[in-house]
Amino acid sequence: MPHRPALSNASIDLTHEVDVLDERGRCSTIAIPSERPLTVYVDKRELVTLMTLGSAPEALTLGYLRNQRLVRSIEEIVSLQVDWEVNAVAVRTRSGIADIEERTARKVVTTGCGQGSVFGDLMEEVDTITLPADARLAQSVLYRIVDTIRTQPSIYKQAGSVHGCALFSSEGRLLYFIEDVGRHNAVDAIAGKMWLDDMRGDDKVFYTTGRLTSEMVIKGAQMGIPFLLSRSGTTRMGHTVAQRLGMTLLARCTGKHFLLLTGKERLVYEPHLLSSVISLA
């Protein structure tokens, strides 16, 4: 069995009701997403404060430490305890994080919503990542993924103002779905869940409602995932990093429409689907 640190199972309300007036002066009550700070302490040292919805705080913390390359192995983590009364999470490691001051000193501010910074040396690790060249994604599976997201119950449908990320198998089976106030938090939470479940990324597909920025592409690559899908688009740097990695990016994925940007050899077009696409045009 893979090592699992001792984890809390913290829960908290994800939405908050407020009174509003519409354009006719009519009063009603709507739900809005909750947003709260979560300060991460590692071995009693304050590391970072993440602004989060709070849907998966343990997985978010683990994924953040993983994607920032501050903790290389989940075996290094002894316990992780979230306390919403003080909006903090305490992480205890076996032997601490070596050179933590130096490793967290240099940051690159990114375009992520909310807390969106990555430590500078992550950019230098891109060339060490190898994604599977033989991975393939069928066009019909792509459509199945998009349709699954469309019908997925979500905070977004209830209250709006959040991003969603999901992990799928190469056959289109939904494995994880996470929403948060920033897409970077949602991807970190999925990375944390993969770590806990000892799950590989080389045969997985990642979906996000947000932009595929360089930060999102790098995090996807660190998780070993060859396919990144977005309901939105990408940025120039996101595109450049994906090309450098040999990652497959698909943007504007809605209904039967998509734009294949990079890694084109991995997508398997299915001619029998063309007629249905044309009829919807």
Q: Which residue has 């869940």 as its token pair?
A: 193
Q: d(Cα 100, Cα 47) in Å, to the nearest integer?
A: 9
The SS3 of residue 105 is coil
Query: Do the Cβ atoms of 225 and 67 come closer than 8 Å?
Result: no
Residue 265 has what pLDDT? 95
pLDDT in tens, 72-99: 899 999 999 999 999 999 999 999 887 7
Q: d(Cα 172, Cα 14) in Å, to the nearest integer?
A: 27
Q: Which residue has 């929403």 as its token pair?
A: 179
Residue 161 has what pLDDT? 85
Q: d(Cα 93, Cα 187) in Å, to the nearest integer?
A: 23
Query: Read out DSSP for 67-93?
Result: HTTS-S-GGGEEEEEEETTTTEEEEEE
The pTM of this model reads 0.86
Q: d(Cα 11, Cα 66) in Å, to the nearest integer?
A: 22
Residues of the chain with confidence (pLDDT) below 50: 107-112, 114-117, 119, 281
Which residue segments constitute the domains of the chain, with CATH numbers given? 6-121 (3.10.20.10), 137-280 (3.40.140.10)
Residue 25 has what pLDDT? 84
pLDDT in tens, 189-234: 999 999 999 999 999 999 999 989 888 999 999 999 999 999 999 9
Choose among 137, 110, 114, 142: nearest CA to 219: 110
